[in-house]
Amino acid sequence: MPEGDTIHVARQRVAPVLEGRTLDRFWAGKLRGRRPRVGQHIEAVRVHGKHLLIDFDGELTLQVHLGMVGRWSVPSGAVDDDETFARYRRNPRLRLYLATAGGVALCYAAPTIQTFLRSDEPDHLTPLSNLGPDLCVADADAAPVVAEAVRRLRARLPGSDLIADALLDQEVAAGIGNVYRSEVLHRHGIWPFTPVNRLDDETLTALFTTACRQLWRNSRQPGPRRTTTAPIAGDAGRTDNTFVYHRYRAPCRRCGTPIDRSYEGRYARSAYWCPRCQAEPDDGVATR
């Protein structure tokens, strides 16, 4: 599933085509309810966590979640006309076609596409109402975002919840997925199945701060592969891309111990960790 940095990169791709422009053509095969209209002004393209949001005048927002396989595309040099639209429309995976004078933006295979009125908040729920703060922010903006994430974690989750689950909870903080939870926990030497109530606020602050830095760096310097091992706050430089994620049974890039993997937890999602760098606490307390 795309994580927050991926959606910010997608925004950088589609915003020049859409933002500040007038909608010339709109097609969404499975959208129900309110729909953007030809002639509407596109005020902004923005991101919150794993959601890409296109704001139209009239308080209307189009919200897209890419799920596991969705993606955005901006064909180079594409000019909207009936032939162009018909060509892309033939793809059964096409979900959205938006055209302006700036070009064409396409969305494929996204499972969640809906609209809501921005004026509905705060009096009524929208798809974003319960989300935590977006962690993909620059260092200068991170402190209040991290503080809110820690506050939400303490207020929302029972202390017995596992930290690996807490980091995936989008109502605590938005943007972290399997990659970043595994990499952030490895960086700080924390066993993924540690209960939240065994971690102090200083540790939680460090985890969310690292997540912010890794998400932001990868959103601003997109490359063929996401990197979580490049220098952060004084680390020695590295060129490989992850320490533990997707490296089951491969050697840890810090200590050489084979990486472990588990699908335990609330979400039954794959968590990767190094049994040596992130050793299970030896205190007799069962947490798995």
Q: Fold identical between 4-120 and 139-273?
A: no
Sketch the domain layout of the chain as residue ranges: 4-120, 139-273
CB atoms within 10 A of CB 61: 23
The model's pTM? 0.88
SS3 115: strand
pLDDT the model gives residue 156: 84
Q: Tens digit of pLDDT for each residue in 49-70?
A: 999 999 999 999 999 999 889 9
DSSP 41: B
**Assigned token pair, 255:** 């200590």
Q: Of 191, 213, 195, which is closest to residue 154 (Cα–Cα)?
A: 195
Question: 4-120 in CATH: which number?
Answer: 3.20.190.10
Assess contact for 269 and 208: CB atoms under 8 A.
no
139-273 folds as Helicase, Ruva Protein; domain 3 (1.10.8)
Q: Tens digit of pLDDT for each residue in 4-35?
A: 999 999 999 999 999 999 999 999 988 988 99
**Assigned token pair, 234:** 């004084």
C-alpha to C-alpha distance for 60 and 35, rounded to whole angstroms: 8
